[in-house]
Amino acid sequence: MVIKSSLSLSTAIVVINASIKNDITTSILHVHLTNHPVTKTLHYAAFVTSTEAKLFVIRCGINQACIKENVSKIIVVTNSIHVAKNIFDVSSHPYQSHAVAILSELHRFFTINQSNSRILGMF
């Protein structure tokens, strides 16, 4: 899916990862858009959980993809499906502020243009 979509001019591919070493969390974000250089962003934080870091970097990736012109589809690639599921859990939990911010960004993305894709898949 990612390889096929990487040739589309309207698809943004967001790849995220985060790791913790000595209480320092490193989050890495790559955003790929056809005919644009890959954007790499690093974030460092102290004393946060891996889940918080991954939700934050998902939020940053979606935000970066949403501000690009002509993007109608965003693919987020992560090795943490359990983290991504927290985005859609509307009950009270410690990551609710991240979930609300991500859902708000996605709502704005989908309302900008009716042709923006609304397909969600977790593999």
Whether 75 is covered by a domain: the verdict is yes
Whether 122 is covered by a domain: the verdict is no
Whether 90 is covered by a domain: the verdict is yes
Structural domain boundaries, residue 26: 2-112
Q: What angle do CA 80, 1, 111 make, to 5 degrees?
A: 80
Whether 117 is covered by a domain: the verdict is no
Whether 123 is covered by a domain: the verdict is no
Beta pairing partners, 14: 31, 76
**What is the distance between the alpha carbons of residues 35 and 79, in angstroms, rounded to a whole number?**
26
Nearest CA-CA partner of 44 in 57, 25, 30, 61:
25
- pLDDT at position 46 is 92
Residue 92 has pLDDT above 80, yes or no: no
Domain count, the chain: 1
- pLDDT at position 111 is 83
The pLDDT-based confidence of 119 (bands split at 50, 70, 90) is low
Q: How far apart are the first and last CA of the chain?
A: 11
For the domain that residue 80 is a member of, what is the CATH number? 3.30.420.10
Q: Mean pLDDT for the chain?
A: 81
pTM across the whole model:
0.76
